[in-house]
Structure 1
Amino acid sequence: MIKWINTRFWASVARLILRNRIIILTLVIGMTVFLGYQWKNMRFSYTEANLLPDNHPVNIEYNKFLDIFGEEGNLIILAVKDSTLFTTEKFNAWNRLSKKFNAKPEVSAVISTENLKKLVKDEENQRFALDNLVKGEIKTQEQVDEIRDELFKNLPFYKSLLFNDEGTIRTAVYLDKEIVNTIVRKDFIYDEILPIIAEFEEETGLDLRVSGMPYIRTLNSQNIVDEIGLFIGAALLITSLIFFFFFRSFRATFISMVVVIIGVMWAFGILGLLHYEITVLTALIPPLIIVIGIPNCIFFINKYQQEIKKHGNQAKSLQRVISKIGNATLMTNVTTAAGFATFIITESKLLKEFGIVASINIIAIFILSLLIIPIIYSFMALPKQKHLNHLNKRWIGAFVGWMEHTVRHHRFAVYITSVALLVLSIIGIYQIRISGSLIEDMPQRADFFKDIRFFEKEFDGIMPLEILIDTKRKNGVTRLSTLKRMDKFEELIVETPELSQPMSVVSLAKYSRQAYFGGLAKNYTLPTSNENNWILAYAGKSKSETNLLTSFVDSTGRYARITTFMKDIGTDKMERIEENLRAKIDNTFKDKYDVTLTGKALVFLKGTKYLVDNLIMSLSLAIFLISLFMAYLFRSFRMILVSLVPNLLPLLITAGMMGFLGVPIKPSTILVFSIAFGISVDDTIHFLAKYRQELRSSNWKIRKSVYAALRETGVSMFYTSIVLFFGFSVFMISSFGGTVALGGLVSATLLFAMLANLLLLPSLLLSLERSIANKRTVKEPNFRILPEKVNRKLSELSKRKDKKE
């Protein structure tokens, strides 16, 4: 009954499409216009990718920190490492540079040599005051030398913030926290900061280095935007060239391009309709739709041309294309969509949005293929003989013959090779490492990435790591016991080569003692108990503008922060550092304080770990869902197990390759497995569908059915696999390391999957024919290619329709 319903359903779909061509085309155009109008809602992400769910403890702790101290990622750093900076002309230019930034409304504060404040003791009023290091325009070299000596010898408080021991000078520009995560940040950096920097470099001849999270995020986001067009253009070019090489038909190539271009327009429209941001992941969806949509076109057009060559009846051919290919292609697109949809179960907003949009668009590109290709061909003349010649290409025949010969005579070699690859893959899997770096996937040839490496070398990193200390009492931060504990904890940070010099209220307390006792650098230490009381009395009488506590302590004096910066290191090192810090926290602060490790570096690390932990779950779900499809289609548990083998083996091979090639598991490469599995299983469905049809028509002759299915589906599987291979290879032109790895790994996986489905799968069917392929264990599939009797009925309906017309 189900089979008859399926048959009648697809026969009805064929009639519906071909009898309502104008209406359907009008609806497609209308939907395209509507979704094109939704482009206005598209927006690009101006925040870092947060891979953790909102209710994750790490996010909760991070948001608590932001509530107390505000946005941490608002610092842009400028630096020069050049001894000629300390000449009159260039030093004045350096100071003028900071004045220009300070005059901008988007900047909340600038700390530089131009406005650097020295903390001094005002004995008359018994308070601290601030004195300018630089007073007006510098006129002589002696003044420059004096300022330089004062900075490097007597102001250790500003070390690592404004200078280092190697003579590198920095300026810290703090953006208004309200604009950090908005488009205003991008406009300010491109319209104001970059021109000012270019002007300074031209004026002085100095190489100005720029970094900081707002600056990096802005330039990195722009790279993502620039690559969207590059990917779409490259994907269209490579897939159209391969398509034309196979079919040698401008008409077929044009139709396919129309389908995928409309699919891309729909992809952008759906992003806008759902009000999702364009991120490093969602930016991949439009080219993905091109790469996945072309195989649909290959199956539909290849079948149409086969039917035309067989009997030359256009109406009959188009009906058979819809009725024979529609169901199988629907199932393959559903399995592909299922591979992407598994990301929806993760609680990561970034992955969830990617999974939703990708799965919707995969079904959409199937619908477009099903509607547009038969309708456009129905308005065109029959293909000429030259357009059908590709069906008889000798090299294709030789390839199919080689596959059949291998399966027929060398199955043992296929098994030995598969086992050997499996063993090597398992060895490689044990060598895989996990990476959780914020900057690892950034374009390494970009100038801003080179500047990142410069700051890592000179100042030990740019990724903020924050330690939030809750003293549990008002003004608890100013207690000497608290300061001593913090100072003891900071010793571990200083001893950790991957972390920068920490900044906190401890440094300010040391600076206060230095100022109290004459400003000598040797007095830059924590005060004693008695000294602390005197110094606090001075600090309490100081004017609000001289109070430097606000960056390190909250308004109540209860919370303090220690800020350090981390180098770009692997996840294993980050975890080791975290363990050491937590051990030191437990030992130093005990139960009297609540101490929290947070910051963007730690959030990203935990996000990567979260994804890795969910990888097995999402991949298992993909396998489970696709197994359900297999059970529905073939109704045989043994067949499900056999069909999974050639699809799981390529995933293991790819994982082994990652281990041997040193490609880590990270947010970008973690997508490979679910995507590749969802796509590669399509070949299995096509092969087994044809195999089941041949079983029935050959009266359950196993060998004959396997070879017939191999000859029938081998060409289309080869075509689609080549298109997918080169289509995903397009991502390897990216400047982002993660996108390059994603493209290369998916391409390799799909190539292995093609070989596994064309060699290993038929070999298994032949070797296990007695146990899996007989009438007792194999039930009729829930979908099948329509029998000839139904096709005759469709043909008769077509002839009646033609007569009426």
Structure 2
Amino acid sequence: MAKLFSFGFWNALAGVILRNRLVIFLGIIGITVFLGFQWKNMRFSFTEANLLPDDHEVNVQYQKFLDTFGEEGNLIVMAIQDSTLFTPSKLKAWNEFNDSFKKYEEIDLVISLSDLKKLEKKDNPARFELVDFINDTSYTEKQVARYEQELFAKLPFYEGLVYSKKSKTVQSALYLKKDIVNTIVRKKFIEDVLNPKVKAFEAKYNMDVKVSGMPYIRTMNSQNIMDEIQVFILAALLVTSLIFFFFFRSVRATIISMTAVVIGVMWAFGLLGLLQYEITVLTAIIPPLVIVIGIPNCIFLINKYQQEIKKHGNKAKSLQRVITKVGNATLMTNVTTAAGFATFALTESKLLREFGIVASINIIALFILCLLVITIIYSYMPQPKERHLKHLGKRWIESLVDWMEHMVKTRRVTIYIASIIILIASIIGIYTIKVSGSLLEDMPKSTGFFQDIEFFEEEFDGIMPLEILINTKRKQGVLKLPTLKRMAELEILLEETPELSKPISIVSLVKYAKQTYYNGNPKYYQIPTSQERNFILPYAKSFESEAGIMKSYVDSTGQYARITTFMKDVGTEQMERIETTLGPKLEKIFPKDRYEVTFTGRALIFQKGTNYLVWNLVFSLGLAIVLIALFMAWMFRSFKMIVISLIPNLLPLLMTAGLMGYLGVPIKPSTILVFSIAFGISVDDTIHFLAKYRQELKQNHWRIRKSVFAAVRETGVSMFYTSTVLFFGFSVFMISSFGGTKALGGLVSTTLLFAMLSNLLLLPSLLLSLERSIANKKTLKEPSLRIIPNEEEINSDDDFKESN
């Protein structure tokens, strides 16, 4: 392995690249075209990301629920809060608007005011009959007034289902066919049919229609992700190219760099299509991530090329030295960054695994692209002129390096005190961090669909379905009166929980049957007694087969019952508190020896998955640290150097974690990524610095101070350039409307900026303070991997001739 990455290998590779540049460039074009054809396989996720493995107990329970009752997330709701709704013209228009959806094959069922049924008690024979709530289409003022009064005063069965008593908001329900809920057909229906029809109705009747439901939320959210990918890519290209041009003052260098990273972006999309991975909130950030990480590669390569041109003016030799002197170091830094992402691929979460695989492959591919594209394009172009090299001697850059050197020379105690203060403050902040499993928290707050979510939470106490599956362990056990009473008792508990809505189940229908038996008197909307059951039973049997709610909330065997309630946007801690509170009470109501009660639903799975994901991410971060520590050990063959190299990289991570605590940014799938991304990138600076430091030690005959300051001066400029690009590049994510992506951008930017200062101030200070114990030939043995070749090796190859 060491021989593979020796100076001789890179020297030979340089010759191969420059002698076969046309063939290689055509090969890059060919690969780009091939991956371009894979774009057609890209697809957006049509459901929430399942953060749990398929065989996890919570997923198994959810699958059991789906097998019994089918897809639960197929409901779209539309609501109107308007005092003029119950006027003849507007009520008629609202009903006709809802009825118009029945003709679409994507719709399984529509429930609106015009579809409502009432139970009526009939004699001879004794029976219940379902009759239309609105039985006249003439819509006179008197009839409309009667409908309004009857709905809100006499039909508690429909409270929370069709109307909200809080402000007399009326809602209707569109049930999508279950087989299209998680397909592109759902997306097309919402974008091409539902949204245009809603807008047209609002414009015509001057009424505000609120729309929500999980299928609608998923569709609008994925559309926002798609829109943001384009914005991110353009913004990342613009920001990084402007900063690059500011540093190099060269249009040519900027265009060459942008060419390399744009090809990298095309490869990123192509790889997603080739692997047929869905585009999620995580995989959507890979293309702009490629731009942000790719530009530092270009900076190192172009900066070295221009330094060599300035030194000896030989283009061929300069290009060869770019590959031999910087190729190994740049590869190693990209490998450590890729390793940080690759650890995600070892988790059991499909979401993280796909993100880790695509990100790590793209980072290595990006290194190869930058090395080849920059070298080959520059080989065809004229030698840089003096004006292209002016940036190498800028005074302000020299002043910055002088300041760093001054701080390390004279202010080491200040650096240590500042580091200790930051460490203590960070630890205190870490103890205040919370974990969030909210499904909606990261969604863009300014969008119309999110404001509609807040409306439904206020009026109907939630929009995310929480399902409760009750197994009575015997056929027809659900319809037994003791079971119904237990279910009614559970529903009272659910109604008393502020975060949950009024539940819907077979119990509601049984209560409605009793109310109907007593001639529709609302005060009898309750579970019948044993004696009343005997009177009501002959009536109820007549319509059991016709009532759709029976089929939706009781399975065909009568063994399983389903209670549906809707949750507000609560976090993991609140949900755990709800489960802890309800758990003991549930066991009292439903003894375990006779019943099996399970909480399930997509929203609950997401919350459970968040805790699972956090531990997976902690594991991946720990694994990344261990892998990079082993990599350092292999490179430097010194345990002391491992410790010294990790300190300036772990401190920024602790500082970021502390900031999250102080700023109230919770740990969630998006923000936990900060640590692995930042650590994988920031350790690159450490590798560059220590490799240069070791080389200087040998050249300066183990004189510590001279070697440290030479390493600061040599690597400081490149570190500053790359860290600035990374800071502003990741800051691009802060324009996102997704809270998690915005936090990711801000936190990574902050971490990398502090990591640069840590590597240029704290790391050299440690080396100077511990010089006796680490800067000797016994501690710094001959490395297994020489990242930067010695000058004598380079100079011995000065007979390299341009082969074309």
TM-score by length of 1: 0.98
Structure 2 vs 1, CA of residues 164 and 4 (structure 1 numbering), >3 Å: closer, same or farther?
closer
Which residue does 1:160 correspond to in 2? 160
Alpha-carbon deviations, 1:160-185, whole Å to 9, x = none? 01111121111111111111100010
Provide the residue aligned with 2:105 in structure 1.
Answer: 105
Displacement of 1:5 in angstroms is 6.6
Question: Partner of 2:626 in structure 1?
Answer: 624
User: Aligned with 2:800: secondary structure?
Assistant: helix
SS in 2 for 1:595: strand
Corresponding position: 1:542 with 2:546: no
CA deviation vs aligned residue, 1:232-274 (integer Å, no higher than 9, x gap): 0000000000000000001100110000000000000110110
- Contact kept, 8 Å, 1:3 with 1:783, in 2: the verdict is no
Q: 1:103 to 1:122 in 2, by over 3 A?
A: farther
Rounded Cα–Cα distance in structure 1 between residues aligned with 2:590 and 2:684:
58
Aligned-residue offset at 1:2: 4.1
CA contact (8 A) 2:465 2:567 kept: yes
Q: Which residue matches 1:219?
A: 220
Task: Tell me how many residue pairs correspond in the alignment.
Answer: 801
Deviates more, 1:516-525 or 1:298-307: 516-525
SS at match of 1:210: strand
Q: Matches of 1:547 and 1:428 in 2, distance apart?
A: 54
Residue identity opposite 2:611 in structure 1? K
Letter in structure 2 aligned against 1:658: M
CA contact (8 A) 2:5 2:328 kept: no
Deviations 1:169-208 (A, max 9, x none): 1111111111110001011011111111112112221111
Whole-Å Cα distance in 2 between the matches of residues 128 and 695 of structure 1?
95
Quote the residue 2:411 is aligned against.
410
Q: Which amino acid in 2 is paired with 1:488?
A: E
Partner of 1:145: 145
1:667 is matched with: 669
Q: Which letter maps to 1:47?
A: T
Which of 694, 697, 710 aligns to 1:695? It is 697
1:796 aligned to which of 777, 793, 799? 799
Rounded Cα–Cα distance in structure 1 between residues aligned with 2:363 and 2:427: 32
Q: 1:356 & 1:233 partners in 2: Cα distance?
A: 24
Q: How does 1:107-506 map to 2 (within 5 A)?
A: 107-165=107-165, 166-506=167-507
- Shift of residue 616 of structure 1? 2.1
CA distance, structure 2, for counterparts of residue 675 and residue 295 of structure 1: 15
Q: How does 1:749-764 map to 2 (within 5 A)?
A: 749-764=751-766
Helix, strand or coil: the match of 1:511?
A: helix
Question: 1-side partners of 2:517 and 2:17: how far apart?
Answer: 88
The amino acid of 1:187's aligned partner reads: K
Question: In the aligned structure 2, how far is the partner of 1:234 from the partner of 1:533?
Answer: 71
Q: What letter corresponds to residue 104 of structure 2 in structure 1?
A: K
Change (3 A) 1:543 1:507: closer
**Structure 2: distance between partners of 1:573 and 1:609:** 13
In the TM superposition, residue 532 of structure 1 has moved relative to its aligned partner by: 2.3
Tell whether the 8 Å contact from 1:129 to 1:546 is kept in structure 2 after alignment: no
How far, CA to CA, are the matches of 1:797 and 1:480 in structure 2? 94
Q: 2-side partners of 1:183 and 1:127: how far apart?
A: 45
- Cα deviation for residue 3 of structure 1 reads 6.0
State the Cα distance separating 1:728 from its structure 2 match.
Answer: 0.3
Q: Distance in 2 between matches of 1:200 and 1:372?
A: 55
Measure the CA separation in 2 of the matches of 1:182 and 1:3. Answer: 52
In the TM superposition, residue 787 of structure 1 has moved relative to its aligned partner by 2.3
Residue 581 of structure 1, CA deviation: 2.1
The answer to whether the 8 A contact 1:128-1:546 is kept is no
Counterpart CA distance in 1 for 2:537 and 2:605 is 36
- SS of structure 1 residue aligned to 2:163: coil
Counterparts of 1:486 and 1:777, CA distance in 2: 72
The amino acid across from 1:644 in the alignment is L
The answer to whether the Cα contact below 8 Å between 2:544 and 2:550 also exists between their aligned partners in 1 is no
Structure 1 counterpart of 2:617, one-letter code: L
2:268 and 2:774 mapped to 1: Cα distance? 42
| Residues 504 and 255 of structure 1, relative CA distance in 2, 3 Å threshold | same
Q: Gaps (5+ residues) in structure 1?
A: none
Q: Which moved more, 1:190-199 or 1:259-268?
A: 190-199
Q: Does 1:707 align with 2:713?
A: no
Q: Secondary structure at the match of 2:546?
A: helix
* Structure 1 residue aligned with 2:584: 583
1: CA distance, partners of 2:610 / 2:559: 32
DSSP 3-state at the match of 1:668? helix
Deviations 1:575-608 (A, max 9, x none): 1011122222112101210100111221111011
Question: CA 1:273 to 1:457, structure 2 compared with 1: closer, same or farther past 3 Å?
Answer: same
Q: Bigger shift: 680-689 or 568-577?
A: 568-577
> Within 2, Cα distance between the matches of 1:537 and 1:370?
83
One-letter amino acid of the counterpart of residue 512, structure 2: Y
CA positional deviation for 1:543: 6.7
Deviation per residue, 1:702-754 (Å, 9 max, x gap): 11110000000000000000000000000000111110000000000000100
What residue in structure 2 maps to residue 20 of structure 1?
Answer: 20
| Structure 2 residue 637 is matched with structure 1 residue 635 | yes
Say which is worse superposed, 122-131 or 78-87, in terms of deviation. Answer: 122-131
Task: Report the Cα offset of residue 465 of structure 1.
Answer: 0.7
Say yes or no: does 1:727 pair with 2:729. Answer: yes
Contact 2:317/2:800 (8 A) holds in 1:
no
Secondary structure in 2 matching 1:335: helix
Q: For 1:54-73, what aligned pairs fall within 5 Å after superposition?
A: 54-73=54-73
Between stretches 93-102 and 437-446, larger displacement belongs to: 93-102
The 2-side partners of 1:675 and 1:712 are apart by 26
- The answer to whether the 8 Å contact 1:298/1:716 transfers is yes
Measure how far apart 1:542 and its partner are.
2.3
Q: Could you tell me whether the CA contact under 8 Å between 1:300 and 1:325 is conserved in 2?
A: yes
Q: In the aligned structure 1, how far is the partner of 2:761 from the partner of 2:795?
A: 35
In the alignment, is the contact (CA less than 8 A) between 1:316 and 1:794 conserved in 2?
no
> Shift of residue 561 of structure 1?
0.7
- Quick one: which amino acid aligns to residue 710 of structure 1? V
**1:61-111 deviation per Cα after TM superposition (whole angstroms, max 9, x unaligned):** 111111111111111111111111111111111111110122221111111
Q: Secondary structure at the match of 1:134?
A: coil
Alpha-carbon distance change, 5 to 526 in structure 1, aligned in 2, over 3 angstroms: closer
Superposed CA offset, 1:547-575 (max 9, x none)? 53111111111100111111112221111
Further displaced range: 683-692 or 98-107: 98-107
More displaced, 712-721 or 484-493?
A: 484-493
Closer/same/farther in 2, CA of residues 766 and 188 from structure 1, 3 Å limit: same
Q: Which letter maps to 1:21?
A: R
Tell me the residue number matched to 1:785: 788
The answer as to whether partners of 1:318 and 1:374 remain within 8 angstroms in 2 is yes
Query: Which amino acid is 1:324 matched to?
Result: K
- Which structure 2 segments of 5+ residues have no match? none
8 Å CA contact 1:69, 1:554 repeated in 2: yes
1:771 aligned partner, one-letter code: S
Compare 197-206 and 91-100 and name the one that shifted more. Answer: 197-206
How far apart, in 2, do the equivalents of 1:136 and 1:73 lie? 33
Three-state SS of the structure 1 residue aligned to 2:34 is helix
Q: Which amino acid aligns with 1:580?
A: T
TM-score (norm 2): 0.98
Q: Is the 8 A contact 1:468 1:598 kept in 2?
A: yes
User: Does the aligned pair in 2 maintain the 1:109–1:174 contact within 8 Å?
Assistant: yes
Contact 1:77 1:172 in 2 (8 A): yes
1:686 to 685, 688, 694: 688
- Letter of the structure 2 residue corresponding to residue 738 of structure 1: G
The 2-side partners of 1:368 and 1:135 are apart by 71
What is the one-letter code of the residue matched to 1:755?
L
> In the superposition, relative to structure 1, how do residues 316 and 42 fare at CA in structure 2: closer, same or farther (>3 Å)?
same
- Cα displacement (A) at 1:56: 0.8
